Chains A and B, each alone.
Chain A
Amino acid sequence: MKTLYLALKYLAVTLWSAFVIFPFLWMLSTSFKTSNAVTGGATWLPWAQFEPSLAGWKSLFGGAGGINIVKPYINSVIVTGSASVIALVLGTLAAYGLSRFTFRAGPLRNGDITFFFISQRIMPPIVLAIPFFLMLRWLGLLDSLAGLILVYVAALMPIAVWVMVDFFNTIPRALDEMAWMDGCTPVTTFFRVILPNVLPGLVVAGMFCLIFGWNDFFFAFTLTFTETQLLPVSIVALNSSVTPWWSLSAAAIVSVAPLAVLAFVVERFLAKGGLAGAVR
């Protein structure tokens, strides 16, 4: 009975894995194909079924008919990374404040302020496009990394606040009070006592920030022209009247890779229980 159950479980997991992995395999094989191989029906095995070519990959690094994605790639890493770190730091501090201290801004209380943060994500981004554009122009930061980082911080911070407020709320206030009694200042209380308890929250919020930031096309497209390009924009720029499936596939692989690696590492970290028990 138990063996049957296990067998069924593994069968289900295997089927699901195949379903999830298939697009990646498809992308991988397509990235080594030429125009003829792509249009010549479904083929899988290089050399046996089609002659592999590096043209798709070469076009990512300035090869014929392509765009050099190295610089946009680095730009994306810088913008997403710094915006995520800044949003995480500011968002975590804000969330701690909102979870622990009583605020009043006119008729607004803590709950309303928290909702105000989250509400920034409720409206469609297009609503913000023109205001952001005007503000960046006023600051002289259009088409610059700094400008993009600012905009991304604004877009990512609500996520950090939202996730972290919930995590802070699970930590009993008595822990703060105890630390104060032990002679901690509020700042050391936060860093030495409270923060170690919300590590899983930081990981979750950080993942959200990185994924949203990395995947954003809209702001990267509307707020830059030629100087500063981010990866999603340059991938779209690869496209032409005849869709270059091979270079698009290669680009898709390199753009998904960092998030996949990150997800793998974090999953390992969480599953290992390195964080289990930190809360409760």
Chain B
Amino acid sequence: MAEIRLETLAHRYSPGGTYALKPLDMIWRSGGTYALLGPSGCGKSTMLNIISGLIRPSEGRVLFDGQDVTAFDTGRRRIAQVFQVPVIYRSMTVGQNLGFPLVCQGVPAAHRRKRVEAIAERLGLTGALNRPANALTADQKQLVSLGRGLVRDDVAAILLDEPLTVIDPQQKFELRRILKEINAEFGVTMVLVTHDQTEAMTFAEEVIVMNTGEVVQAGSPRDLFERPLTRHVGSFIGAPAMNFLPATAQGGAAVVPGTGLSMPLPEGAGSALSLGFRPEHARLATADAILSGTVTRLWFEGLDEIIAIRHPAGEIRLRAPAGTGLVPGDTAGIALDPGRLRLYLDDRLMA
């Protein structure tokens, strides 16, 4: 349960090579939930391995509660990790698995048993304590991994490296709920690595979006949804992705030709402009439509329908309550609250 601070942290796997992780600064509060989100190879696993001490960063420092742990071995960092593929001490029972960190610390057997029993009870593993750990299902193994972090009362943080990837959808939901509960109950800092935006957005209080070794945006799920700092974030977060239409400068405004989409243009802004808005923020309209086009496709999503509309400026998607009655080929118009419109220059948010 520690505050994790990353100071000008960066890593290159070979001296003078390209950055696997570009310099970054970050503070994660004690007891917080954080998600590192990005496609594979974006540097999120590198970051996780630096925190756990499996990789020594080539630049910068890692601090736990103000203490510089950059030079500490993994064993001294008091970290627990749940791996992507369930890893377990196969030669031991469930109980021995849970107690192993305490064995390594030399905790007396009596105290150890009490802690193990308490944690097993909390995780619903009491009945399995004396069973070989190998016989557990994948989601139970992940629980045991989590439990190994919880038995030690000094754990600094629990790192979750795509822990739900190989779990059945049913148990996935359950496990995610348990993770949240455990975080609230034990106040343990949790860092989740994932490439699944839903997982990141529902789990973490702060999501760190990464791409090609760089932190693109760090913020609350709402921030990421409302104000994506780059077009990449806008496309990556949210389903369907954010709409982007190329815009041109016309008398102090950025305008998408042939539509009513327009935003005031700051002084000296260049040429590669685009306007973006969320499919969720647009609505179907006839009278006050700011653009209209031909419906090309429809997706049914329970209460909602996703409607794709073709316009000369590009394809637009919007989320509308189901039952619109539209079919491909119809003409549809959309309206949008101007406050929801975002202006991007060279793929970066301007306003």
Contacts and interface: CB of A to CB of B under 8 A. Distances in A.
Contacts of A178: 81, 83, 87, 89, 145, 148
Interface in A169-228: 172, 174-175, 177-185, 188, 193, 196-197
Nearest 5 CB-CB pairs, A to B? A196-B91, A183-B104, A182-B101, A180-B74, A174-B87
A135 interface: no
B309 to A, nearest CB: 47
A197 B90 contact: yes
B100 interface: yes
Interface residues of B, number: 27
Given A174-B85, A178-B87, A197-B90, A277 B101 contact: no
A181 B90 contact: no
Interface of A: 172, 174-175, 177-185, 188, 193, 196-197, 277-279
B171 to A, nearest CB: 20
A157 to B, nearest CB: 25
B91 A184 contact: no
A174 B100 contact: no
Majority secondary structure, A binding face? helix
Majority secondary structure, B binding face? mixed
A167 to B, nearest CB: 13
Contacts of B77: 181
Nearest to B149: A181
Given A183-B78, A188-B104, 13 more contacts: A174-B85, A177-B81, A178-B81, A178-B87, A179-B89, A179-B100, A180-B53, A181-B77, A181-B81, A182-B104, A182-B148, A196-B92, A197-B90
Given A196-B91, A197-B90, A177 B75 contact: no
15 contacts: A172-B85, A172-B87, A174-B83, A177-B83, A178-B87, A179-B100, A179-B104, A180-B73, A180-B74, A181-B52, A181-B77, A181-B80, A183-B78, A196-B91, A197-B91
Nearest to B82: A178
A155 B172 CA distance: 52
A172 B87 CA distance: 8
Contacts of A277: 90, 132, 134
Given A177-B54, A177-B74, A183 B91 contact: no
A151 B131 CA distance: 45
- Could you say which of A177, A178, A188, A278 has the most chain B C-beta atoms within 10 Å of its C-beta? A178
B79 interface: yes
Contact of A184 (B80, B81, B104, B132): B104
A278 B91 contact: yes
A179 B148 CA distance: 10
Contacts of B148: 178, 182
Contacts of B52: 177, 181
B155 to A, nearest CB: 10
- Could you say which of B73, B91, B148 has the most chain A C-beta atoms within 10 Å of its C-beta? B91
Nearest to B134: A277
B14 interface: no
Contacts of A181: 52, 74-75, 77, 79-81
Contact of A175 (B78, B80, B87, B105): B87
Contacts of A278: 90-91
- Could you say which of A183, A277, A279 has the most chain B C-beta atoms within 10 Å of its C-beta? A183
Interface string B48-84: 0000111000000000000000000111111111010
Contacts of A183: 75-76, 78, 101, 104-105
A196 B88 CA distance: 13
